[in-house]
Structure 1
Amino acid sequence: MSCVPVAADGDEACANCGKQGSDTIKLKSCTACRLVKYCGVDCQRAHRKQHKKACKQRAAELKDQKLYSQGHERPEGDFCPICTLPIPTRYPDDDADALAMTQRRVAKKDPDEAKAVEFYKKAAMQGSVDARHNLGCIETEKGNHDRALRHFLISAKMGHKNSLEAIKKRFTAELATKEQYAQALKGYQEALEEMKSHDRDEAKRLRDEQGL
């Protein structure tokens, strides 16, 4: 049976038994993927084995959409947006140091690595530029260069110098296009100008408050 909702006379139906939704039969979407609906828990369980692969793939796509579409602006004051959470120490900026640290953690089967990634994702989606850069480093070490580049592009456009350098290295190694590097450089320069403007405005406000 298909993992796409069954349609009958234009109405949605249970993905397992095909029963149409009605005033008495309330269909509920799979909370992980939203691809299918079920008339009850029994049908959801019966369809689980068949639906599992498509569900997992779509759920991952939805998480990625959220991860890469949010957090493109720095939070006010440029502080960690989830500073009350125990975020691990900042990831090393140097690629060699970052790789060495990850290899040590893997060798020790360090559970904090997975926890760190989750905290970095939460912080990145709320505008933490360092967390976004760190995610790029982690994806690089996993060999996921496309995912790493997407993170670095976002953080470079937010004014993160090391992210811009990371994209420059990838451009030199033919892992990023000329257009991507140019886009990152332009965004980086614009972010710097915006931050300088903010600093000037803040300095003027303080001078005015003090009557200087």
Structure 2
Amino acid sequence: DELLFKQPESTHLGDCPICFIPLPLPPRHKNKMNEVSYHLCCSKSICLGCVYESRLKIAEQSLEQKCPFCRTPYPEDDAEAERMLKKREAANDPFAIRGVAGRCWKEGNFSECFKYMNQAAKGGDMEAHEQLGHMYLQGEGVEEDMKEAFYHWEEAAIGGHPIARMSLGVIEGEYGRHDRQIKHFVIAANQGCGVAVEQLKM
């Protein structure tokens, strides 16, 4: 419990690899823009401030648009983007493997989605752990197992994932363990999770 309820230094997203400022959480509403840009070439998440600054400098010099981090030219079409993803997948990159899992999900192939998501989680991807928690909870691509759902949410929460921690808090509340529920909500709120802040106000 000591490790589980220790306040993480940052979220699972970490810091921007260029300016080293903590990356913001994704917006709760679809009509709001995500302030993080994901790059297939190097599997890096970069803040939009650094992306815009890089693009502005490149435009001023009339150069080819490239990734602000690894300087790889941006893919020209979906086929090239797919090749980039496969290259990262072949390198056993957890971010890319989770991308394959997401594609399997969209295609309705939940068993394959689970396989790739599990592989990404074993590679240390906290988002994959969070998603696996829901898959075990709902029995999607795998047999329902609340114990496994808890395990993956706890791994993600320890790794700084505030939404996984919110899931733990909700379940703890349903079990009547409100002291543990509040601890989870407080930690998530300190990470900038708006839902956690709202729950604590209730």
TM-score w.r.t. the length of structure 2 is 0.39
Higher relative contact order (CA 8 A, sep 6+): 2
TM-score w.r.t. the length of structure 1 is 0.37
